């Protein structure tokens, strides 16, 4: 089955800042030293400017790459808007930075927005008793538990710039215009609540975020905040929903790894 997944590029060219996948749609890749090895972002030519889908993490390296791209490749072009696929730090870390620097509008699902806002404000110096007992119940070995007890826990705000107060809400099944084209929105579940995907039948492009990845399933995690969640069930439900989309040999642009053809085979 994996042989039916095809890639227009076998890797991201080391010496380049971005790759133009089709006219007006660009792929940017950030190498990261934390959380995950890399993350993708996409730039779309828009009316009198550009729209950016996902930003990378808040780091000096990511900011440097964005500044270089905007100066070298899009000099004088306005950043109209940022669309966020889901609330994870590697995808929206620079939201606040873009908003402050370029006055870019922020477009997101409501749950992604609220979750990100809540998590940036929720700073925890120590791991809570509830989290420790959740980990214990999940079978974490005692030695690791006591190590975790001593460490500062993962804090969302360590990887994300402060998130601005307001945004423009995107709803499921909405159709939004970017440049000369309409893009259809589908919400997915399992990896992140109200994770949005965008596809454009005219361009045969499907921006998938982490909902569909070429080589692995996305991370489907149960967190102590919702110990009885069923992310696998929710993910499968989303796959069934996305399978109903007319198959047009979309080029899928994922949040990680390489753009690929074989959308339905992969699902
Ligand atoms: Zn991701």
Q: How far is the CA of 221 from the centre of ligand 1 (A)?
A: 13
Helix (H, G, I), strand (E, B) or coil at 45: strand
The one-character DSSP state at 161 is P
Q: Using one digit for the tens of pLDDT, what is the confidence trace for 176-186?
A: 999 999 999 99
The one-character DSSP state at 6 is B
Q: Using one digit for the tens of pLDDT, what is the confidence trace for 34-64?
A: 767 899 999 999 999 999 999 999 999 999 9
Q: What percentage of the chain reaches a pLDDT higher than 90?
A: 90
* Structure confidence at residue 32 as a pLDDT band (50, 70, 90): confident
Q: How far is the CA of 173 from the centre of ligand 1 (A)?
A: 22
Task: State yes or no: pLDDT of 248 exceeds 90.
Answer: no
Q: How far is the CA of 90 from the centre of ligand 1 (A)?
A: 6
Q: Using one digit for the tens of pLDDT, what is the confidence trace for 85-100?
A: 999 999 999 999 999 9
Q: How far is the CA of 83 from the centre of ligand 1 (A)?
A: 14
Count CB atoms within 10 A of the CB of residue 186.
Answer: 20
The one-character DSSP state at 4 is G
Residue 37 is predicted with a pLDDT of 87
Residue 33 is predicted with a pLDDT of 79
Q: Using one digit for the tens of pLDDT, what is the confidence trace for 106-159?
A: 999 999 999 999 999 999 999 999 999 999 999 999 999 999 999 999 999 999
- What is the per-residue DSSP string for 142-158? HHHHHHHHHSPPP-GGG
Angle at CA 25, nearest 5°, toward 20 and 31? 65
Query: Residue 131 in contact with residue 63, Cβ under 8 Å?
Result: no
> Could you give the domains of the chain?
2-125+158-266 (3.60.15.10)
Q: Which two tokens stand for residue 57?
A: 């993490």
Task: State yes or no: pLDDT of 71 exceeds 70.
Answer: yes
Q: How far is the CA of 209 from the centre of ligand 1 (A)?
A: 7
Task: State yes or no: pLDDT of 74 exceeds 80.
Answer: yes
Distance CA 105, CA 166 (A): 9
Which residue is listed with tokens 């993490």?
57
- What is the per-residue DSSP string for 202-247? TTTEEEEETSS-SSSPPP----TTSTT--HHHHHHHHHHHHHTS--
Q: Using one digit for the tens of pLDDT, what is the confidence trace for 18-27?
A: 999 999 999 9
Q: How far is the CA of 39 from the centre of ligand 1 (A)?
A: 6
Q: How far is the CA of 188 from the centre of ligand 1 (A)?
A: 14
Q: How far is the CA of 256 from the centre of ligand 1 (A)?
A: 6
Average pLDDT, the chain: 95
Strands 38-46 and 260-261: unpaired
Q: How far is the CA of 159 from the centre of ligand 1 (A)?
A: 13
* Structure confidence at residue 208 as a pLDDT band (50, 70, 90): very high
Q: Which two tokens stand for residue 123?
A: 């700073």
* Structure confidence at residue 257 as a pLDDT band (50, 70, 90): very high
Distance CA 140, CA 158 (A): 25
Q: How far is the CA of 216 from the centre of ligand 1 (A)?
A: 12
Reading phi first (left if > 0) and then psi (alpha if -120 to 50, else beta), residue 46 is in beta
Long-range contacts of 22-25 (CB under 8 A, 24+ apart): 22/203, 22/205, 22/251, 24/179, 25/203, 25/205, 25/253
Kindly state the average pLDDT of the residues 197-211.
Answer: 98
The β-bridge partners of 50 are 45, 79
**Higher-scoring residue by pLDDT: 32, 214:** 214
Predicted TM-score of the model (pTM): 0.95
How distant, in Å, are the alpha carbons of 1, 22, 204, 213, 214 from that of 263? 12, 17, 11, 9, 9
Which residue is listed with tokens 């454009």?
200
Query: Residue 194 in contact with residue 185, Cβ under 8 Å?
Result: no
Q: How far is the CA of 212 from the centre of ligand 1 (A)?
A: 11
Q: How far is the CA of 30 from the centre of ligand 1 (A)?
A: 12
Residue 247 is predicted with a pLDDT of 82
Distance CA 36, CA 66 (A): 19
Residue 35 is predicted with a pLDDT of 66
């Amino acid at each position: 089955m994996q042989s039916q997944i095809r890639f227009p590029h076998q890797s991201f060219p080391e010496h380049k800042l971005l790759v133009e996948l089709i006219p007006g749609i660009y792929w940017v890749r950030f190498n990261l030293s934390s959380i995950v090895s890399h993350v993708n972002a996409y730039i779309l030519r828009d009316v009198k400017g550009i729209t950016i889908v996902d930003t990378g993490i808040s780091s000096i390296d990511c900011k440097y790459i964005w500044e270089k791209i905007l100066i070298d490749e899009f000099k004088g072009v306005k950043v109209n808007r940022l669309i966020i696929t889901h609330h994870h730090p590697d995808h929206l870390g620079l939201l606040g930075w873009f908003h402050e620097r370029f006055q870019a509008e922020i477009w997101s699902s409501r749950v992604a927005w609220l979750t990100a806002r809540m998590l940036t404000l929720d700073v925890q110096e120590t791991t809570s008793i509830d989290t420790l007992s959740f980990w214990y119940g999940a079978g974490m070995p005692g030695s690791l538990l006591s190590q975790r007890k001593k460490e500062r826990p993962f804090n969302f705000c360590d990887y994300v710039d402060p998130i601005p107060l307001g945004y423009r809400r995107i709803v499921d099944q909405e159709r939004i215009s970017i440049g000369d084209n309409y893009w259809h929105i589908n919400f997915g579940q399992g990896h992140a609540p109200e994770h949005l995907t965008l596809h454009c039948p005219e361009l045969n492009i499907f921006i998938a975020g982490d909902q569909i990845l070429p080589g692995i399933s996305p991370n489907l995690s149960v967190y102590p905040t919702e110990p009885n969640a069923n992310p696998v069930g929710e993910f499968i439900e989303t796959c069934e929903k996305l399978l109903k989309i007319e198959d047009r040999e979309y080029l899928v642009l994922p949040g990680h790894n390489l753009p690929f053809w074989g959308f339905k085979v992969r699902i």
